[in-house]
Structure 1
């Protein structure tokens, strides 16, 4: 009887292990399915506001389109890194914008969580808390931190998606225009579709002050569609990345050094009256580690 029970337990463990490995392969494929060339539509609209100010003015609805190349930068069983490049303007002479980057880490336990005022608090989670989960770490155009969150990829009823709620800085479309809130609590859903993928967002515009409960000023809906098109449509972005990828590998290396300190991170908004991306986007001046490392360090308080 005892031998039969032991065999049953071993068989169950084996089946569970095989199932977990199969699930992880599905997760990896879903993440890598976000790579390639896409026609992107960015849609954002403020849906509700809770302001007590009678003169409160909602953010304008924003709809933008463009091509986006999502470049696979790193690919292993526990980490996928994808760099996004926007390709805008005339098809005959497009302009390339180094856009956001997303890293996906399996069962990651280390996080930098945004807390307003250009501050990211370093926290750790237990292995049990993140078992089977993938952390999405999103970075700014200069590879400084933006937001991070952990969740489980779900494959059910013909749907494949990942969801998470986390705090983030104001998006670029807002922080140059709005100063009445300081946190965007992002409800992110990444769903793989038959034509590409969708980034579905339910966001809250939050006022956070030390010693007080958070106040939700307004809510916002974001719905960004990525429709797959031939890679040839993104040739300019592909060429740009091949020309510049070595330089941006140096930038990532320096940031990895900063993140490995495993302590709260506070960044300056400007040095010499310039934000970091304006330094790093100078391809001629900032192309070596000797130039890149000190300028990034100068933004770390």
Structure 2
């Protein structure tokens, strides 16, 4: 007896749904592999320059090592949130510094694309454009925006990786020493390895001016390795997060409200001659919800 067409179609849809669910779970497991305690090595080298200035000086090769605790903050079906904390100094009395944060959103349609000069353009994608994809949203130490991009996790030949190219502001290692370019086009590859994971980057340093074509100034290679070690090595960082997570939940909530306005975002570089992290960390170290909300709002240009 022949199988009715609609029965066969329903079976095919069922098989497809099971396959998609399995793929999504594999994606989630890959992302969460980036949590835990790691010995990290940050390596950056300027590879090519295209400047017409005979006195041009490339950035020095940078190699830094340390311990990094990647704390799982949120773990829901469509959202995984990981906060990174650097642990440095004497192992007996280490210093902990809040580092970058990465949020992973499944089939997300709302993104902020960095333009230049502390401006992010809001972009809305259709659902078909992001089917099966994960958006990685990366944030600064004060949870202000850094860069965002969407792509599919790939699991093939024993490898699991995710790739995306997206514009970003200059990294701290650069903006403290350079002002001859204003956009870093980041080619990001996150790959899970047998020792942990690696953040492989092929970056382009760009001069961007309104009404003009972008000028490529130089190329850069980044290769950051995360070697998994016992979580006990990051005990100080883990405890720091337990002691401070309520404050940073307030900070994230305010930023989520700002991002949720779904319109172009322009931020002040400084208020009262201080960057935002000075208010949240070193000097005032704001703790209360009202003062956190007020100071973050003061950095958002109307």
Please state which band the TM-score falls in when normalised by the shorter chain.
Answer: over 0.9
Q: Secondary structure at the match of 2:173?
A: helix
Q: Secondary structure at the match of 1:160?
A: strand
Task: Tell me the equivalent position of 2:100.
Answer: 100
- The TM-score, its normalising length taken from structure 2, stands at 0.98
- CA–CA separation in structure 1 for the residues paired with 2:200 and 2:210: 30
- Count of aligned pairs between the two proteins: 301
- CA–CA separation in structure 1 for the residues paired with 2:111 and 2:11: 36
- CA–CA separation in structure 2 for the residues paired with 1:4 and 1:206: 59
Query: Which ranges in structure 1 are unaligned for 5 or more consecutive residues?
Result: none
- The TM-score, its normalising length taken from structure 1, stands at 0.98
1:20, CA displacement in angstroms? 0.2
- CA–CA separation in structure 1 for the residues paired with 2:179 and 2:290: 36
- CA–CA separation in structure 2 for the residues paired with 1:239 and 1:137: 25
Is the aligned partner of 1:118 residue 2:118?
Answer: yes
Is the aligned partner of 1:294 residue 2:297?
Answer: no
- CA–CA separation in structure 2 for the residues paired with 1:165 and 1:221: 14
Task: Tell me the equivalent position of 1:35.
Answer: 35
Where has structure 1 moved over 4 Å in runs of 4 or more? 282-285
1:9, CA displacement in angstroms? 1.3
Task: Tell me the equivalent position of 1:132.
Answer: 132
Contact 1:285 1:291 in 2 (8 A): no
Q: Secondary structure at the match of 1:19?
A: helix
- CA–CA separation in structure 2 for the residues paired with 1:212 and 1:271: 30
- CA–CA separation in structure 2 for the residues paired with 1:76 and 1:293: 26
- CA–CA separation in structure 2 for the residues paired with 1:44 and 1:93: 29
Q: Secondary structure at the match of 2:129?
A: coil
Q: Deviations over 1:131-187 (max 9, x none)?
A: 000000000000000000000000000000000000000000000111110000000
Contact 1:35 1:71 in 2 (8 A): yes
Task: Tell me the equivalent position of 1:280.
Answer: 280
Is the aligned partner of 1:206 residue 2:199?
Answer: no
Q: Secondary structure at the match of 2:103?
A: strand
Contact 2:139 2:146 in 1 (8 A): yes
Task: Tell me the equivalent position of 1:173.
Answer: 173
1:103, CA displacement in angstroms? 0.1
- CA–CA separation in structure 1 for the residues paired with 2:6 and 2:259: 45
Task: Tell me the equivalent position of 1:11.
Answer: 11
Task: Tell me the equivalent position of 2:252.
Answer: 252
Task: Tell me the equivalent position of 1:49.
Answer: 49
Is the aligned partner of 1:195 residue 2:215?
Answer: no
RMSD, matched Cα: 1.2
1:2, CA displacement in angstroms? 8.6
Q: Secondary structure at the match of 1:115?
A: strand
Deviates more, 1:284-293 or 1:183-192: 284-293
